[in-house]
Structure 1
Amino acid sequence: MNAFSSYEHDIHAVDAGYVRPLLAAVHLIVEKGRVAIVDSGSNASVPPLLKALTALGLSPDAVDYLILTHIHLDHAGGAGSLMRLLPNARLLAHPRGVAHMVDPSRLVAGVTAVYGSVAVSKLYGEILPIPERRIIPATHGLQVDLAGRELLCLDTPGHARHHISVLDGCSSSFFTGDIFGLSYRELDRDGRQFIFPTTTPVQFDPAAMHASIELLLSHDPQVMYLTHYSQVRDVAAKAARLHDLIDAHVGIARAAESAGSQRQAMIRAGLQELLLAETERFGCVLPAAQVLDIFATDLDLNAQGLDVWLDAQAG
């Protein structure tokens, strides 16, 4: 897969340029010369996005919507910078996320408290505010019209309480952010795509995640477009596997519940074992060390998220 890939129904994926190639995708939906962008990526995503528009023969004023699946900074950190370059665009975000787009200071402070100011500055740069008049709260069931092409926003918590998924009726596909897991293209095998959940802190909720996946399935989608990374098919089978793997994540967390200061490390070790067993079951041909390198940050984040979830259960 290249930095810019095109699919059927005029759907395109742009590599967001986040941390490493093929880690995060920004998607463009094009209809009759009008554009909806799903997720902004970070500020590093802005130049490749503008380049992709040019490659499609389009200009920034052709963009009608920038839709954020949620406001984690790898999905939304570049939204303020991008909106300043899209004169006709309206931003869609979950109602819980709107205030943070208008004033991102609390969002940045929260991320900085976890990762430190140097790391946040290096990864994301300056997070710019967006005028509230340009924002549409993406309430559950909101429909927007892209040159006659209907896009439906659904509330899909489980990864975050401010998470939406977007159904494109034209292609019978969902843009799922992080609720339908992770699927990195390096692990593709014989036309099949590997799938693994993401339990990133701080709002992982397994019951809500299961329910959100079932909500997506109820619309009989043919294709899912994940931020990490782009198109996956065989949706029902992947959903079934995600359900099993979510339960496995919870089981690993519960097994470490009484491990005290070693709890997160124990969870991380359990997740690593689960990942390697799952890639072996899938038939992945990559060496284990390469698989662990691809998923290194995700294993850390999943372990942190499960640790936070255990604390929330205890409270």
Structure 2
Amino acid sequence: MNHGIHTIDTGFVRPRFDAAYLLVENGRAAYIDCGTNHAVPRMLDALKDAGLAPTDVDWLILTHVHLDHAGGAGELMAQLPNARLVVHPRGARHMIDPSQLWAGASAVYGEEVMEATYGRLRPIAVERVVEAPDGHVVMLSGRPLLCLDTPGHARHHLSVYDERANVCFTGDTFGLSYREFDTANGAFILPTTSPVQFDPDALHASIRRLVELKPAAMYLTHYGRVEDVERLANDLHAQIDAMVFIAQSAQSTSSLAQERHDAMKAALTNLYLSRAHAHGWHGDHAQLLEILGMDVELNAQGLGIWLDNQHRRTG
């Protein structure tokens, strides 16, 4: 039984890379995450396929405001006349006025790339935005959706526990699990330490908190439903520690930032390759980077920022 949960491939980057979810209860609907502006037609098509109209949507819940999860929020909300947006209190201002989000990302990628990749960010009226602190409950036609503060990947991250289905919607807190790595041993998983707010202690705690709920499954943005929750959580904990060790080792042996970054990328690639092979995946180094190359780069960047922040705090 899927309890009215529909997985939507947002089409970002490649197939089965970026998911959003539609929950349906008694003819009312809620989305969890939404992808970019380019995903809006897919979001509306999923609603139509479920036999519903835009007026039937009560909520758009964002796990966090990174653009692959939330970039299309303003555009989607413009199509949903009765919906309200639910977001972590730290992320609300960026949905009401996304100019800072846009400026920060544009400084890295450039305006042209931003337009092509995400589309222009559209603000959401303040009266339609609901801040969800830890313990906030969203009611979907009598179905409680519990919002939990789950930092570690980002300080403005929440996860959603759906008691009716006994599942969690985890954004990026419960890591990345791409279906290309599925084997007879089940799903393969790795943490995401992408810029700029990685905190290993907080991430360990958030994962433990989700597991303590004893959910039957986790729904990840990258990508889809995974079960065998305890095993995957143990894998995440082990890799967070391994990734911290990689970062600290690179810091101690590399005096130049680029050398440190390159050392972390090489070590992360070897870590994921060895773990994927132990999991029963038979691809080679090049095939791994074809799937995980962007994540290796972003994880190394996030670890580098974490190292620099540690140095500033202790120095």
Q: TM > 0.5 between the two? A: yes
Given that 2:185 and 2:280 are in contact with CA atoms closer than 8 Å, whether structure 1 keeps it comes out as: no
Q: Please, which of 288, 303, 306 is the counterpart of residue 303 of structure 2?
A: 306
User: 1:43-82 maps to which residues of 2 (within 5 A)?
Assistant: 43-82=37-76
- CA deviations on 1:106-140 (whole Å, 9 max, x unpaired) are 01111112222222121111100000100100110
**CA–CA separation in structure 1 for the residues paired with 2:50 and 2:283:** 34
Q: 2:35 aligns with which of 36, 41, 44?
A: 41
Three-state SS of the structure 2 residue aligned to 1:96 is coil
For the residue of structure 2 that corresponds to 1:217, the secondary structure is helix
2:40 maps to a residue whose letter is V
The 2-side partners of 1:127 and 1:222 are apart by 35
Query: Could you tell me which of 77, 80, 86 is aligned with 1:86?
Result: 80
Query: What RMSD in Å do the two structures reach over aligned CA positions?
Result: 1.0
1:280 paired to 2:274: no
Any conservation in 2 of the 1:202–1:308 contact (CA below 8 Å)? yes
Measured in 2, the distance between the counterparts of 1:122 and 1:265 equals 28
Secondary structure of the corresponding residue to residue 27 of structure 1? strand
Superposed, 1:227-242 pairs within 5 Å as: 227-242=221-236
C-alpha deviation, 1:233, in angstroms? 0.2
Distance 2:145 2:55 in 1: 19
Q: 2:199 matched to 1:205?
A: yes
TM-score by length of 1: 0.96
Q: What is aligned with 1:193? A: 187
Written as runs of structure 1 = structure 2, the 5 A alignment for 1:1-315 is 8-190=2-184, 192-258=186-252, 259=254, 260-261=256-257, 262-315=259-312
Between the two proteins, what is the percent identity of the paired residues?
53
Does the 8 Å CA contact 1:50/1:60 hold for their aligned counterparts? yes
User: Distance in 2 between the 1:193 and 1:80 partners?
Assistant: 33
Q: Distance in 2 between matches of 1:237 and 1:16?
A: 28
Give the partner amino acid of 2:278: R
Report the alpha carbon displacement of residue 44 of structure 1 after superposing the two structures with TM.
1.0
- 8 Å contact from structure 2 (residues 185, 279) kept in 1: no
* TM-score when normalising by structure 2: 0.96
**Deviations 1:203-240 (CA, angstroms, capped at 9, x unpaired):** 00000000000111111111000000010000011001
Any gaps of 5 or more consecutive residues in structure 1? 1-6
How many residues align? The count is 309
Residue 17 of structure 2 aligns to a residue in which SS? coil
Q: Which runs of 5+ in 2 are unaligned?
A: none
Q: Are the aligned partners of 1:187 and 1:286 in contact in 2 as well (CA < 8 Å)?
A: no
Q: Which region of structure 1 is more displaced relative to structure 2, 186-195 or 93-102?
A: 186-195
CA distance in 1, matches of 2:106, 2:263: 25
Instruction: For 2:246 and 2:113, locate their aligned partners in 1 and report how far apart those are by CA, in whole Å.
Output: 29
